Chain A
Amino acid sequence: MENEITIRMVDVAKSFGETKALRKCDFEAHAGEVHAIVGENGSGKSTMAKIMSGVLHPDAGKVTILGEQITSPVDAKRVGLATIFQEVLVAEEASVFDNLFVGRDGIFRSEGNTGDRWREAETILARLVGKPVDLNEVVGCLPLSIKQWIVIARAILRSPKVLILDESSAALDLDSTIRLHEEIDRMRASGATILIVTHRIAELVRIADRATILRDGVTVGVLEKHEITEANLLAMMTPSDRRASEAKDYASKGRDGAGAILTARNLATHRTAAAFDFDLPQGAIVGVAGLDGQGQDAFVRAVAGIAQPFGGDVQVRSADTGKMTSVGTLDEAARAGISYVSGDRKREGIFPQQSIFENLAIGVYRKNLGPLGVIRKPSLKPMFKREVDRLRIKIGSPSNKITSLSGGNQQKVLIGRAFANDPQVIVLNDPARGVDLGTKRDLYRELRIFADKGGSVIYLSSEIEEFIGFADRVDVFFAGRLFRSLSGRDIAEEPILAAMFGQSRNTSVEFDLERTA
């Protein structure tokens, strides 16, 4: 039973039009193991997960799940496979209970007892969320973090023999990830096969028994537990021509003496949150961190003029007059030279039907208008080329649709859009989420150059490792306010973690990797 093979993929290929997502994919997973699937963006991980879930059909090759070939999610359900996809899929108008048990029954007939289901759901959800949740609550009223748990609990409640998590923990904070891992441990102990498709190398080092690495749609290797290190993983994931270079080791420069280009006074992110002050020195890269929902997202949006803070006032030094002017609306922020880049590119970033050129240049259309509001497009072409070269965005023709680019390259276009405005301050809201390593490095490099030339950066990230060697200062949010500012040697995993948990400076967080359920 221990080594029974539950999933087998042989020679699988899958293309979308001209794009070959999978070329030659071979894969095997056993019962009772946690198996990670790792690779850069565009390597085919998600496609693999979707094929295994019955959502997509392979063009070639054979896929067997628990001895059967499945062709639809209905088949997958029958066989005992459950998948948690990257996107949080919930019915907003329905109750938590309905959302948890969607699809569990036949078209007309119910397959389970409501009372039993209720009890089971309450238990599991309370365990995952960390506190009891009212199953009658309408999901639309709940915060995103609970919705994520609902999606995860939905799969777990099926007691699946195979559980696939497709980047599902990408948006979870530290605490939640620990609870999720505990649940995964539980399932592994009972003989289930758990597949984790992930970018988070640190996470899978902790929990995976084996890891399969994908590159360019081909499985390039399988690592056993003792072989799973960041070095090995990176070595297998990146093609040889990129391995040599770029250490992620930009020395953080001292920024003494530089005046503040942006200040916030008495800022409150929420009705019950304490007010705080914030200063952004010119030429600095300030990281913003915090556990989920601690106010950092609201802060970053307030600073960018997108949302109103609950209280307080943001001021920016005007480029023309040198004096501090108040920034309260998006217009004022734009005029003051603040650009905003969101990591949620599907929702607040790209225009999917428009060209790459338009997606990048649209940020500066308004500054390049002639009579009647005509846009001077020819004058924007040099700017476009400059940004594409600088950010190393790989495009075919500028008039291609933006959806022809990979996720990482799309993100680069959005960053190019922000840069094109020649801003004083760039505010980035988790831009590297779900983005491959190569793109991340290009991004850090460009932001560093921007800061060296006098620009200022506010960079929110949910991954602590991003700040190290990159940020001059890290502001950690806790309980809705700026809790602690860390600089110099304090920009390291332990101090940042401690601050995220609201710990006082002198205690270090016991990060217990071996914690059992």
Chain B
Amino acid sequence: MPSNAIRQLARDRSLFVPAGLFIVLLAAVATRGHGLFTMNGIAGAILVATPLILTALAITPIVMAGRGAVDLSVGPLMGFINVTLITWLVGHGVTNPVAVIGWAIGLGAAFQLIQALVIIYVRVVPIIVTLSGFLVLSGINLMVMSRPGGVAPDWMLSWGAGTSVFSPVLFLLLTAYVIWAGLRRTMFYRNLRMTGSDERMAYTSGVPVDTVRIIAHVVGGAFTGLAALSYTALISSGDPTQGSTYTLQAVTALVLGGASLSGGRGGALGSTLGAINMFLISYLLSTFNFGTVSGFVTQMAFGLILVGSLLVNVFVISRRAAA
């Protein structure tokens, strides 16, 4: 598997940027101190970064399916799963791990299934459908839980300790990779890429494009469920307000990772690198003492990073196409 990754890196030039950025950021973080490179540091990093990584992973197959399907609903969907988990399940005494995990994955998959069906049968442009999902869920989240609060199931409380690298949160992340790797070995991955690259070609060649799209969405929804679990572990409670932040970060991570927002090109490796880079950037910024403006500096930095990564992406792509 590692050699495959390296070979993929070498062949797919769109990964040069996120990989290069990753190395630069690690070096920069290293110069600011050793906090991150301890067991505790890495464990904590995994805890914070996993929801980021998983949301970026969640929107990857959806954007690969084409039609410019940038799923804006991913952040609020994660929030929705989180607050319903806390309010409707735990709040009513349902804390069985099977129920909780099943709820998270099932709800995510179900919501994305509905979105996929709307995209396919109503034939409204996907970004509008997901925009609608974003709005609806943002509102509903606040209706379910008007402010952050609640308590995670007790068996989850220890997950957020951040003391061990091999925590259940890491396990959630690995589950996602296992699922993704499994899909890659089947023809689904290729069908997905072809559908996203040119849907007319795929359709006329006999690819069942609608089914492919549905599966892509359902997988994304399941990943969002995993993200919600890791997020619940991180904050040990419910929070209906962070949806838009996670959407922004997931989309930035996606772009940083070299995926094409119009479909066909993308992958787990790129999105993971993109998300990790986002995490490293905020970590790096937190090591400087900006005082009261630190939040604004982070905001400005995220904006500039996004702008820069898009520009680089464009020039790497256009040079590659001309080659």
Interfacial chain B residues near A77, Cβ < 8 Å: 205-206
B186 within 8 A of A: yes
Q: Determine whether the beta carbon of B264 is less than 8 Å from that of A73.
A: no
Segment of A90-98, A395-403, A448-456 in the binding face = A90-98
- When A91-B197, A94-B197 are in contact, do A107 and B211 touch as well, CB less than 8 Å? yes
> Bound complex: CA of A127 vs CA of B248, how far in Å?
50
- Name the one of B186, B187, B198, B323 contacting A89, with C-beta atoms under 8 angstroms: B198
A429 CB to closest chain B CB (Å) equals: 23
Q: Determine whether the beta carbon of B193 is less than 8 Å from that of A91.
A: yes
> Bound complex: CA of A109 vs CA of B203, how far in Å?
18
Q: Determine whether the beta carbon of A73 is less than 8 Å from that of B204.
A: yes
- Name the one of A76, A90, A107 contacting B208, with C-beta atoms under 8 angstroms: A107
In this complex, what residue of A is CB-closest to B188?
A: A108
B32 within 8 A of A: no
- Name the one of B194, B200, B206, B207 contacting A94, with C-beta atoms under 8 angstroms: B194
A340 within 8 A of B: no
> Bound complex: CA of A87 vs CA of B207, how far in Å?
18
In this complex, what residue of A is CB-closest to B198?
A: A91
A516 CB to closest chain B CB (Å) equals: 31
In this complex, what residue of B is CB-closest to A88?
A: B201
A382 CB to closest chain B CB (Å) equals: 41
Q: Mark B182-202, 1 if CB is under 8 A from A, else 0.
A: 000011101101100110111
In this complex, what residue of A is CB-closest to B204?
A: A73
- When A89-B200, A141-B321 are in contact, do A103 and B205 touch as well, CB less than 8 Å? yes
Q: Determine whether the beta carbon of A94 is less than 8 Å from that of B187.
A: no
- Name the one of A94, A140, A141 contacting B193, with C-beta atoms under 8 angstroms: A94
B260 within 8 A of A: yes
Interface centre among A98, A102, A140 (most CB of B within 10 A): A102
> Bound complex: CA of A90 vs CA of B323, how far in Å?
18
Interfacial chain A residues near B197, Cβ < 8 Å: 91-94
A228 CB to closest chain B CB (Å) equals: 29
Size class of B's contact patch?
Answer: 20 to 34
A274 within 8 A of B: no
B233 within 8 A of A: no
- When A91-B264, A98-B194, A140-B321 are in contact, do A110 and B187 touch as well, CB less than 8 Å? yes
> Bound complex: CA of A28 vs CA of B194, how far in Å?
34
> Bound complex: CA of A92 vs CA of B190, how far in Å?
14
> Bound complex: CA of A92 vs CA of B322, how far in Å?
12
A238 CB to closest chain B CB (Å) equals: 32
Q: Determine whether the beta carbon of A102 is less than 8 Å from that of B186.
A: no
A106 within 8 A of B: yes
> Bound complex: CA of A42 vs CA of B84, how far in Å?
57
Interfacial chain B residues near A105, Cβ < 8 Å: 187, 190-191
> Bound complex: CA of A279 vs CA of B194, how far in Å?
47
B217 within 8 A of A: no
Q: Mark A162-192, 1 if CB is under 8 A from B, else 0.
A: 0000000000000000000000000000000
Interfacial chain A residues near B191, Cβ < 8 Å: 103, 105, 107
B35 CB to closest chain A CB (Å) equals: 40
> Bound complex: CA of A328 vs CA of B207, how far in Å?
47
B215 within 8 A of A: yes
> Bound complex: CA of A90 vs CA of B203, how far in Å?
12
Interfacial chain B residues near A73, Cβ < 8 Å: 203-206
Q: Determine whether the beta carbon of B203 is less than 8 Å from that of A108.
A: no
- Name the one of A76, A87, A98 contacting B190, with C-beta atoms under 8 angstroms: A98
A96 CB to closest chain B CB (Å) equals: 13
- When A94-B264, A102-B194, A141-B321 are in contact, do A107 and B188 touch as well, CB less than 8 Å? yes
A257 CB to closest chain B CB (Å) equals: 47
Q: Mark B161-180, 1 if CB is under 8 A from A, else 0.
A: 00000000000000000000
B316 CB to closest chain A CB (Å) equals: 13
Q: Mark A431-446, 1 if CB is under 8 A from B, else 0.
A: 0000000000000000
Q: Determine whether the beta carbon of B202 is less than 8 Å from that of A102.
A: yes
Q: Determine whether the beta carbon of B206 is less than 8 Å from that of A107.
A: no
Interfacial chain A residues near B215, Cβ < 8 Å: 107
- Name the one of A91, A109, A141 contacting B187, with C-beta atoms under 8 angstroms: A109
> Bound complex: CA of A203 vs CA of B212, how far in Å?
40
> Bound complex: CA of A105 vs CA of B265, how far in Å?
20
Interfacial chain B residues near A148, Cβ < 8 Å: none
> Bound complex: CA of A87 vs CA of B264, how far in Å?
19
B105 CB to closest chain A CB (Å) equals: 20
Q: Determine whether the beta carbon of B198 is less than 8 Å from that of A74.
A: no
B203 CB to closest chain A CB (Å) equals: 6
> Bound complex: CA of A110 vs CA of B203, how far in Å?
18
- When A90-B201, A93-B260, A107-B211 are in contact, do A74 and B190 touch as well, CB less than 8 Å? no
What is B's interface to A at a CB cutoff of 8 Å?
186-188, 190-191, 193-194, 197-198, 200-208, 211-212, 215, 260, 264-265, 321, 323
Assuming A105-B191, A140-B321, A141-B323, what are 17 further A-B pairs, CB within 8 angstroms? A73-B203, A77-B205, A83-B204, A85-B204, A89-B200, A89-B204, A90-B198, A91-B194, A91-B264, A92-B198, A93-B193, A94-B264, A103-B194, A103-B205, A107-B187, A108-B186, A108-B188
A-B contact pairs, 9 of them (CB 8 A): A74-B206, A91-B197, A91-B264, A98-B190, A102-B194, A103-B202, A105-B191, A109-B187, A110-B186
Q: Which 10 A-B pairs have the closest CB atoms?
A: A103-B205, A77-B206, A91-B197, A89-B201, A103-B206, A108-B186, A105-B187, A103-B207, A102-B205, A102-B194
